[in-house]
Amino acid sequence: MDKQTLVVSHFTVIEQSTSSSVIERSGFRRSLSAIDVVVYATILVVGFALLSFYIKTPDLTLDATYPELAKSLVKNGSYTFDFRTETMFPPGFPLMVAFIEKLFGTSQAVLFHVIAVCATLGLLVTYELLRRVESRTAAATICLLLATSQSFFSFVTEMPFAEMPYFLFSSAALLLAWKMAHSKGGANQYGRMLVLGFVLAFAVLIRSVGISLVMGLCLWTVTPIFKKRRLVRERLATFIIPVIFGLVAQIGWSTWAKPRQVIEWTLPGWPQSYTSQLLIKNGNDPELGYARLSDIPGRIATNATARAAEVSQLLTRRETGTQFWSSPLIIGVIVLIAIGLLGSLLKEGGEVLDWYFLCHEALFLLWPWETETRFVLPIVPLAWLYLWRGAKVIWKLAKSHTQQAGLGILVFGALLTVQLANVAMHTSEKRYQPILAGCFWALLSLVGSSMLLMRFVRTSAGASKWMDLLKEIPSRHRRLFKAIPVFALLGLVVYGFVLQVDTMRYNENPDLTQGPWYQDIEAAEWIRSHEPVDEVVMARKQDLVFHY
Q: What is the pLDDT of residues 84-127, one digit of tens each?
A: 999 999 999 999 999 999 999 888 999 999 999 999 999 999 99
Exposed / middle / buried, residue 165 (Cβ in 10 Å: 0-12, 13-18, 19+): buried
| Contact indicator for 234, 243 with CB cutoff of 8 Å | no
Exposed / middle / buried, residue 465 (Cβ in 10 Å: 0-12, 13-18, 19+): exposed
Q: What pLDDT score was predicted for residue 10? A: 39
How many angstroms separate the Cα of 234 from the Cα of each of 184, 270, 341? 11, 42, 25
Question: Is the confidence at residue 465, as pLDDT, over 90?
Answer: no
**Which of 243-257, 287-301, 396-410, 415-429 holds the top average pLDDT?**
243-257
Q: How many residues does this entry show for the chain?
A: 548
CB atoms under 10 Å from CB of 75, counted, come to 10
The set of residues, in sequence order, having a beta carbon less than 8 Å from that of 326 and lying 6+ positions away, is: 416, 419, 420, 423, 434, 437, 441
Query: Where is pLDDT greater, at 344 or 419?
Result: 344
Q: What pLDDT score was predicted for residue 24? A: 43
Q: Whole-prediction pTM value?
A: 0.89
The CA angle 83-84-89, to the nearest 5 degrees, is 125
Single-letter residue type at 184: K
Q: What pLDDT score was predicted for residue 61? A: 92
Q: What pLDDT score was predicted for residue 8? A: 37
Specify the DSSP element, H or E, that contains 85: strand 84-85
> What are residue 280's DSSP bridge partners?
290
Q: What pLDDT score was predicted for residue 7? A: 37
Single-letter residue type at 175: L
27-31, 132-136, 206-210, 220-224, range with the lowest pLDDT: 27-31
How many angstroms separate the Cα of 260 from the Cα of each of 65, 69, 83, 306? 18, 16, 13, 34
Distance CA 377, CA 151 (A): 9
Question: Is the confidence at residue 11, as pLDDT, over 80?
Answer: no
Question: Is the confidence at residue 323, as pLDDT, over 90?
Answer: no
| Contact indicator for 175, 122 with CB cutoff of 8 Å | no
Question: Is the confidence at residue 17, as pLDDT, over 80?
Answer: no
Q: What pLDDT score was predicted for residue 123? A: 98
Q: Which whole number is the average pLDDT over 446-472?
A: 64
Distance CA 148, CA 146 (A): 5
CB atoms under 10 Å from CB of 22, counted, come to 10
Distance CA 159, CA 50 (A): 12
**Local structure of 507: helix, strand or coil:** helix
